[in-house]
DNA sequence: TGCATGAATTGATATATATCAATAATGGAA
DNA sequence: TTCCATTATTGATATATATCAATTCATGCA
């Protein structure tokens, strides 16, 4: 679980990581930055590689950095009392992770963990603060990003508190296909326990619902790869609760 | 449930409402505004009164306005399928309500309803946008407010998904006493149904837990007024789940 | 190649919570 | 006041989901 730094300060990685990373995402919040500002952002940032399973940032530690996921898949989880966890959402390539204590108490309110191998950048929070005060468009983009992420999270949690298990599993499967992987047979790389933790239910219960869906011909499952055969059925189950 | 506008554009209310409203809250996000900027904010804003029970803003309608609660108590609720609702939090005097679609899709993602009589101000979202681009300190304050509100909401929902009913009721009672009313015997003005909707449980179940707490001498209840007699016990129950 | 360790699956059972139904209490209107 | 319509309360029962225990399956490792 220990994080290893492969490249400390990446001087030459700018062209193959930083600027590119901030270029190709057409809806990147960094698009509005000037060359100077990008330079500032990039200057002291560190490029770090994590292996699958490693903890990128731990809940309740200081939130002095913002993380930018360049490659790979990570999960965001809230750790409760005992060993209860709730996986709030997944984070795919080219996502920036704000929120969670940034601007407030400088404390991480959730843990970020690598699902697959993850390449990411750590950016000093101070840089973000400075850019907010320099560039109002950037502040605007950040507010937008923040609100969007939070609305998604909220809708998700409302679903979890209001729906029965089949509805929650449907929502999860649709989320994975449409929001995260965007292909149809998709390999989640997530254990049954992790999938269960995304729906706030027991692993056993999750497996049972999955089996029902398989028997009903709605999905087919092969290890961690899921194939949605009847998306309409999932939509229906999702709506019915 | 129809909203009535008592005062359309309040010219002379500036001194008894707007500037004061934005003055006395020592941690108001409007503190950082210049006189000019405050003037801009206040110019076309409307001061509206709602009776208890009225809907201030309805989920899924256009979010072209930001609401500022000057006096009274309101509740924020997410409406799900059927008649399921989840009350996310309460809003007391001198709170500004951002988030929920602002900056993104301009659609309200939750309903706001008056619990007691409520005096509030409607401010055009455009004004907020303009102030964000003019005054970076304001943008910063907005980000802060946003993040704080969202973290509270998140912690709350994580508790709801991970705790048993007694733990959830404890959390609710502590929240009401410490965050909302800040006195000890406090009159919630909320029905049992509404209290239950804050904990994502049935009214009947909520009443049963409340009774257990009464019998255990932890609280005493008189109508909608609750008196917490043993706060430590509540803390303990909250932690145990 | 086989063993060992953990993950996935299935079944039997327990329990937290919801549902349904009946009764009591409360508060407003005539 | 008295009546009516909500709201609150209590009890009996149903059910969704968790828990516990037992297999099966996969996978790396010696």
Q: What is the CATH number of the domain that holds B185?
A: 1.10.10.10
Q: What are phi and psi of B194, to 5 degrees?
A: -65, -40
Report pLDDT for B149. Answer: 84
Q: Computed from CA positions of residues A226, A232, A238, A241, in that sequence, does the dihedral angle turn out positive or negative?
A: negative
List, in sequence order, every residue forming a beta bridge with A78; answer none if it has no partner: A86
**Cα angle for residues B173, A61, A55 (degrees, 5° grid):** 110
B84 and B24 belong to one structural domain: yes
Domain presence at residue A4: no
B49 and B144 belong to one structural domain: yes
Residue A119: pLDDT over 50:
yes
B127 and B172 belong to one structural domain: no
Domain presence at residue A27: yes
Is B229:B217 a contact under the CB 8 Å cutoff?
yes
Domain presence at residue B84: yes
Q: Å between B116 CA and D21 C1'?
A: 53
Where residue A211 falls among pLDDT bands split at 50, 70, 90?
very high
Asked if strand D contacts A224 at the CB level, meaning under 7 A, the answer is: no
- Give the Cα separation of A164 and B140 in Å (integer): 40
A146 and A173 belong to one structural domain: no
Element (H, E) at B157: helix B136-162
- Give the Cα separation of A169 and A102 in Å (integer): 31
A141 and A29 belong to one structural domain: yes
Is B48:B3 a contact under the CB 8 Å cutoff?
yes
Domain presence at residue A153: yes
Report pLDDT for B5. Answer: 35
Where residue A47 falls among pLDDT bands split at 50, 70, 90?
confident
Report pLDDT for A11. Answer: 44
E-assigned strands of chain B?
Answer: 46-50, 55-57, 65-71, 74-79, 85-91, 95-97, 111-114, 118-124, 186-187, 219-222, 225-228
Where residue B18 falls among pLDDT bands split at 50, 70, 90?
low
CA dihedral of B169, B172, B178, B184, whole degrees rounded to 10: -50
Among A133, A157, A181, residue at a domain's last position: A157
Residue B101: pLDDT over 60:
yes
Mean pLDDT confidence for A28-32: 81
Q: Residue A197 belongs to what domain range?
A: 163-240
Contacts of A240 in chain B (CB under 8 A): 81
Arithmetic mean of pLDDT over chain B: 85
Domain presence at residue B8: no
Report pLDDT for A9. Answer: 39
B99 and B207 belong to one structural domain: no
Contacts of A153 in chain B (CB under 8 A): 150, 154
Where residue A26 falls among pLDDT bands split at 50, 70, 90?
low
Six token digits for residue A176:
């994975």
Residue B93: pLDDT over 50:
yes
Three-state SS letters, B131-146: HHHHCHHHHHHHHHHH
Angle, helix B203-215 to helix B165-175, in steps of 10 degrees: 80
- Give the Cα separation of A79 and B155 in Å (integer): 10
- Give the Cα separation of B76 and B142 in Å (integer): 19
Is A205:A217 a contact under the CB 8 Å cutoff?
no
Report pLDDT for B19. Answer: 53
Angle, helix B192-199 to helix B203-215, in steps of 10 degrees: 100
Asked if strand C contacts B201 at the CB level, meaning under 7 A, the answer is: yes
Lowest mean pLDDT among A39-43, A54-58, A96-100, B60-64: A96-100
Lowest mean pLDDT among A61-75, A94-108, A151-165, B140-154: A94-108
A20 and A102 belong to one structural domain: yes
- CA closest to C1' of C8 belongs to A192
Share of chain A above pLDDT 90, in %: 45
Residue B191: pLDDT over 50:
yes
pTM of the model: 0.88
3-state secondary structure of B226: strand
Where residue A21 falls among pLDDT bands split at 50, 70, 90?
low
Contacts of A154 in chain B (CB under 8 A): 78, 88, 109, 153, 157
CA A211 vs CA A142, A220, B50: distances in Å: 41, 9, 51
Residue A122: pLDDT over 60:
yes
CATH code, domain with A62: 2.60.120.10
pLDDT, one tens digit per residue, over A138-180 is 988 888 888 888 888 889 999 999 999 999 999 999 999 999 9
Domain presence at residue B2: no
**Option in B80, B151, B241 nearest A109 (CB):** B151
Domain presence at residue B36: yes
A203 and A140 belong to one structural domain: no
Mean pLDDT confidence for B71-76: 92
- Give the Cα separation of A100 and A108 in Å (integer): 6
Residue B57: pLDDT over 80:
yes
Asked if strand C contacts B205 at the CB level, meaning under 7 A, the answer is: yes
**Tokens 């028997």 identify what position?**
A215
Among B100, B123, B152, residue at a domain's last position: B152
Between B81 and A199, the more confident residue is: A199
Where residue A42 falls among pLDDT bands split at 50, 70, 90?
confident
Residue B26: pLDDT over 80:
no
Residue A30: pLDDT over 70:
yes
- Beta-carbon separation of A143 and B143 below 8 A: yes
Angle, helix A192-199 to helix A165-175, in steps of 10 degrees: 110
B19 and B92 belong to one structural domain: yes
Arithmetic mean of pLDDT over chain A: 85
B143 and B209 belong to one structural domain: no
Residue A32: pLDDT over 60:
yes
Domain presence at residue B157: no
Interface test with B, best of A99, A104, A106, A153 (most B CBs within 10 A): A104
Where residue B232 falls among pLDDT bands split at 50, 70, 90?
very high
Among B152, B175, B200, residue at a domain's last position: B152
B144 and B167 belong to one structural domain: no
- Which segment, A87-101, A147-161, B140-154, B180-194, is predicted with the most confidence on average? B180-194
- Beta-carbon separation of A200 and B151 below 8 A: no
Share of chain B above pLDDT 90, in %: 44
Check residues 197 to 226 of chain B and report those whose beta carbon is under 7 Å from nucleic acid strand D.
203-204, 207-208, 210-211, 221, 224
Q: Å between A177 CA and C16 C1'?
A: 33
Mean pLDDT confidence for A71-79: 92
The tally of domains found in chain B comes to 2
A95 and A185 belong to one structural domain: no
Closest CA to A118 of A88, A103, A145, A97: A97
């Amino acid at each position: 679980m220990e994080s290893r730094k492969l490249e400390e300060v990446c001087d030459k990685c700018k062209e193959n990581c930083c600027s590119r990373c901030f270029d190709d995402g057409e809806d990147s919040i960094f698009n509005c930055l000037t060359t100077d500002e990008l330079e500032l952002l990039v200057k002291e940032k560190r490029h770090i590689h994590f292996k699958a399973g490693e903890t990128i940032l731990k809940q309740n530690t200081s939130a002095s950095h913002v993380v930018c996921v360049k490659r790979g898949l990570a999960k965001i989880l809230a750790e409760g009392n005992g060993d209860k966890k709730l996986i709030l959402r997944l984070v795919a390539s080219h996502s920036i992770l704000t929120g969670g204590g940034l601007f407030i108490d400088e404390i991480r309110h959730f843990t970020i963990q690598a699902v697959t191998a993850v390449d990411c950048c750590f950016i000093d929070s101070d840089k973000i603060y400075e850019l907010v005060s320099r560039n109002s468009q950037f502040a605007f983009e950040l507010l937008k990003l923040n609100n969007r992420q939070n609305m998604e999270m909220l809708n998700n949690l409302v679903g979890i508190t209001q729906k029965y298990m089949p509805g929650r599993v449907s929502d999860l499967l649709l989320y994975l296909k449409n929001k995260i992987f965007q292909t149809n047979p998709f390999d989640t790389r997530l254990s049954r326990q992790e999938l269960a933790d995304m729906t706030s239910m027991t692993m056993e219960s999750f497996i049972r619902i999955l089996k029902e869906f398989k028997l009903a011909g709605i999905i087919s499952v092969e290890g961690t790869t899921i194939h949605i055969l009847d998306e309409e059925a999932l939509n229906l189950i999702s709506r019915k609760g």
